């Protein structure tokens, strides 16, 4: 599994013109890609890693606090395009992405693990066209991969 993690002032998802309580204040927006062959252990690893990433500033201006420490929220959005392979040609290939039913199960597992950690989690709408608004704070953007490729 792969994630793009952004520290945000605010994030929201709109589907068919409606935000529908899919908005967070300070916290993290996580764009999550599920790859072919990923398992529940990958979802657990990423949830634990992201919940505890120390990327929020303490009172001395150092990045020493996690989203848990700051009582922030997480907006988790499934994004299969993180497995787009652009090395050949001009159209990305998505053969490394998990099938939709597998991806949905692992995306839901990831969300449940964040909630078990004590985080308030809002979600995108799996498989739908979404308009995502991200107000990045810092900017702080990190890539996290359960295979530790980056």
The reported pLDDT for the residue numbered 73 is: 98
Q: How confident is the model at residue 16 (pLDDT cuts 50, 70, 90)?
A: confident
Task: Specify the pTM.
Answer: 0.96
From the list 14, 19, 60, 81, the catalytic residue is 81
* Residue in this structure with the two tokens 């199960």, named with its chain if needed: 105
d(CA 106, CA 20): 23
- Check residue 149 and give its pLDDT: 86
Q: Is 14 among the residues known to form the active site?
A: no
pLDDT confidence of 32, banded at 50, 70, 90? very high
Q: What is the pLDDT, as a whole number, of residue 18?
A: 80
Residue 17: what pLDDT? Answer: 82
Q: What distance in Å separates the CA atoms of residue 124 and residue 40, rounded to the nearest whole number?
A: 20
Whether the pLDDT of residue 51 is over 90: the answer is: yes
Neighbours of 37 (CB within 10 A): 10
What is the pLDDT, as a whole number, of residue 101? 98
> Are 52 and 68 in contact, with CB atoms under 8 Å apart?
yes
Q: Is 79 a catalytic residue?
A: yes
- Alpha carbon distances (Å) from 53 to 70, 93, 100, 113: 11, 31, 28, 15
Which alpha helices (DSSP H) does the chain contain, by range? 40-52, 100-116
Mean pLDDT, residues 67-90: 97
Annotated active-site residue 80? The verdict is yes
Give, in order, the Cα–Cα distances in Å from 137 to each of 7, 55, 100, 141: 5, 10, 31, 9
Set 6, 56, 60, 80: catalytic member: 80
Q: Which of 56, 79, 110, 123 is catalytic?
A: 79
């Amino acid at each position: 599994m792969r994630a793009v993690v952004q520290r945000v002032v605010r994030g929201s998802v709109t589907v068919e013109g409606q935000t529908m309580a899919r908005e967070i204040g300070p916290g993290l927006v996580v764009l999550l890609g599920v790859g072919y062959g990923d398992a529940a252990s990958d979802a657990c690893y990423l949830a634990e890693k992201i919940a505890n990433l120390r990327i929020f500033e303490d009172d001395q201006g150092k990045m020493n606090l996690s989203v848990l420490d700051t009582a922030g929220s997480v907006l988790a959005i499934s994004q299969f395009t993180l497995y787009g392979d652009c090395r050949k040609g001009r159209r990305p290939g998505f053969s490394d992405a998990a099938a939709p039913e597998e991806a949905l199960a692992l995306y839901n597992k990831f969300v449940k693990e964040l909630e078990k950690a004590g985080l308030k989690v809002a979600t995108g709408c799996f498989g739908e066209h979404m308009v995502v608004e991200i107000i990045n704070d810092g900017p702080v953007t990190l890539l996290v991969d359960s295979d530790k490729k980056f």
